[in-house]
Chains A and B, each alone.
Chain A
Amino acid sequence: MTAQPPAILTMTGISKEFPGVRALDNVDFRLFPGEVHALMGENGAGKSTLIKVLTGVYGIDAGTVVLQDRPVNFHAPSQAQQAGVSTVYQEVNLCSNLSVAENIFLGRQPRRLGRIQWSVMNRRAAELLKRLELNIDVTRQLSTYSLAVQQLVAIARAIDIDAKVLILDEPTSSLDADEVAQLFRVMRQLKSEGVALLFVTHFLDQVYEISDRITVLRNGRLVGEYPTAELPQLELISLMIGKELADLEKLEEQPKRPISAVETGQPFIQAQGVARTGAVAPFDLSLHPGEVVGLAGLLGSGRTETARLFFGADRADQGQFLVDGAPVAIRGPMTAMSKAIAFCSENRRTEGLVGELTVRENIILALQAARGWTRPLSRKRQDELVDRYIRTLQIRPANPEAQVRNLSGGNQQKVLLARWLITEPRLLILDEPTRGIDVGAKAEIQKLVVELSDGGMAVLFISAELEEVLRLSHKIAVLRDRRVVTELVNDDTVDADRIMNAIASGAGRPADHLVAGPSDTDEVAA
Chain B
Amino acid sequence: MSTAELTASRRTWRDWVPTKQLPVLVTLALFGLMYGVGVLQYRGFSDTQVFLNIFIDNGFLLVVAVGMTFVILTGGIDLSVGSVVALSTMVSSSLLTEKGWSPYLVMAVVLAIGSVLGFLMGCMIHYFDIQPFIVTLAGMFLARGLCYIISTDSIPINDKTWVAIADYKFRMGNYRLSVSAVVALVVLAIAVWILSYTKFGRNVYAVGGSEQSALLMGLPVSRTKIAVYTISGFCSALGGMLLTFYTLSGYGRGAIGLELDAIAAVVIGGTLLTGGSGYVLGTMVGVCVLGIIQTLITFQGNLSSWWTKIFIGVLLFAFIMLQRVIRLGRKT
Chain A residues engaging chain B, CB cutoff 8 angstroms: 57, 76-78, 80-82, 87, 89, 93-98, 102, 106-107, 109, 111, 114-116, 126, 130, 135-138, 141, 157, 515-516, 518, 520, 523
Contact B197 A516 (CB under 8 A): no
Chain B's nearest CB lies how many Å from the CB of A354?
A: 16
Contact A107 B20 (CB under 8 A): no
Chain A's nearest CB lies how many Å from the CB of B25?
A: 17
B7 at the interface (CB under 8 A from A): yes
Among A82, A89, A516, contact of B15 (Cβ-Cβ < 8 Å): A516
Chain B's nearest CB lies how many Å from the CB of A192?
A: 25
Contact A135 B3 (CB under 8 A): yes
Closest to A99 in B: B20
Contact B220 A78 (CB under 8 A): yes
| Residues on the A chain within 8 Å of B220, using CB | 78, 107
Contact A116 B202 (CB under 8 A): yes
B6 at the interface (CB under 8 A from A): yes
| Residues on the A chain within 8 Å of B14, using CB | 516, 518
Contact A106 B210 (CB under 8 A): no
A192 to B223, CA, bound (A): 37
Q: If the complex has contacts A135-B6, A137-B7, are A116 and B199 also in contact, measured as CB distance less than 8 A?
A: yes
Contact B199 A109 (CB under 8 A): yes
A130 to B10, CA, bound (A): 18
The 8 A CB mask of B1-43 against A (1 = contact, 0 = none) is: 1010011001110110001100000000000000000000000
| Residues on the B chain within 8 Å of A138, using CB | 3
Q: If the complex has contacts A93-B213, A116-B197, are A98 and B10 also in contact, measured as CB distance less than 8 A?
A: no
Chain A's nearest CB lies how many Å from the CB of B203?
A: 7
Closest to B212 in A: A93
B217 at the interface (CB under 8 A from A): yes
Q: How large is the interface on B (under 10, 10 to 19, 20 to 34, 35 or more residues)?
A: 35 or more
| Residues on the B chain within 8 Å of A94, using CB | 210, 213, 217
Contact B10 A102 (CB under 8 A): no
A437 to B222, CA, bound (A): 34
A497 to B201, CA, bound (A): 49
Contact B202 A102 (CB under 8 A): yes
- Residue pairs across A and B with Cβ atoms less than 8 A apart, 13 shown, are A76-B215, A78-B219, A93-B210, A97-B205, A98-B202, A98-B209, A98-B276, A102-B202, A102-B206, A107-B218, A107-B219, A135-B1, A135-B6
Closest to A157 in B: B217
| Residues on the A chain within 8 Å of B12, using CB | 516
Contact B217 A520 (CB under 8 A): no
Total contacts A-B at CB 8 Å = 96
B198 at the interface (CB under 8 A from A): yes
Chain B residues engaging chain A, CB cutoff 8 angstroms: 1, 3, 6-7, 10-12, 14-15, 19-20, 196-199, 202-203, 205-206, 208-210, 212-222, 276-277, 331
Contact A95 B214 (CB under 8 A): yes
Chain B's nearest CB lies how many Å from the CB of A67?
A: 15
Closest to B331 in A: A518
| Residues on the A chain within 8 Å of B212, using CB | 93
Contact A77 B218 (CB under 8 A): yes
Chain B's nearest CB lies how many Å from the CB of A132?
A: 13
| Residues on the B chain within 8 Å of A106, using CB | 202-203, 206, 214, 217, 219
| Residues on the A chain within 8 Å of B3, using CB | 126, 130, 135-138
| Residues on the A chain within 8 Å of B276, using CB | 95, 97-98
Among A57, A76, A80, A515, contact of B10 (Cβ-Cβ < 8 Å): A515
Chain B's nearest CB lies how many Å from the CB of A118?
A: 8
| Residues on the A chain within 8 Å of B20, using CB | 141
| Residues on the B chain within 8 Å of A96, using CB | 209-210
Q: If the complex has contacts A116-B198, A130-B3, are A98 and B216 also in contact, measured as CB distance less than 8 A?
A: no
Contact A107 B10 (CB under 8 A): no
A195 to B147, CA, bound (A): 60
Closest to A109 in B: B199
Task: List 8 A-B pairs, minimum CB-CB distance, nearest first.
Answer: A95-B209, A81-B218, A97-B209, A97-B276, A78-B218, A93-B213, A93-B216, A516-B10
A-B contact sample (15 more), CB < 8 A, given A97-B208, A97-B209: A76-B221, A77-B215, A77-B216, A77-B217, A78-B219, A80-B218, A94-B213, A95-B213, A96-B209, A96-B210, A98-B202, A98-B276, A106-B214, A106-B219, A138-B3
A82 to B19, CA, bound (A): 35
| Residues on the B chain within 8 Å of A109, using CB | 199, 202
| Residues on the A chain within 8 Å of B219, using CB | 78, 106-107
Chain A's nearest CB lies how many Å from the CB of B184?
A: 23
Closest to A52 in B: B216
Contact B6 A95 (CB under 8 A): no
| Residues on the B chain within 8 Å of A515, using CB | 10
| Residues on the A chain within 8 Å of B6, using CB | 135, 137, 523
A126 to B19, CA, bound (A): 21
Contact A115 B11 (CB under 8 A): no
A77 to B14, CA, bound (A): 39
Chain A's nearest CB lies how many Å from the CB of B238?
A: 22
Contact A114 B198 (CB under 8 A): yes
A80 to B197, CA, bound (A): 26
Contact B205 A89 (CB under 8 A): no
| Residues on the B chain within 8 Å of A137, using CB | 3, 6-7
Chain A's nearest CB lies how many Å from the CB of B308?
A: 38
Contact A95 B210 (CB under 8 A): yes
A109 to B6, CA, bound (A): 25
Closest to B213 in A: A93
| Residues on the A chain within 8 Å of B214, using CB | 95, 106
A107 to B200, CA, bound (A): 8
Q: Which of A96, A106, A141 has the most CB of B within 10 A?
A: A106
| Residues on the B chain within 8 Å of A76, using CB | 215, 218, 221-222
Contact A57 B210 (CB under 8 A): no
Contact A97 B217 (CB under 8 A): no
A520 to B331, CA, bound (A): 13
| Residues on the A chain within 8 Å of B213, using CB | 93-95
A520 to B276, CA, bound (A): 21
Chain A's nearest CB lies how many Å from the CB of B133?
A: 18
Chain A's nearest CB lies how many Å from the CB of B36?
A: 31
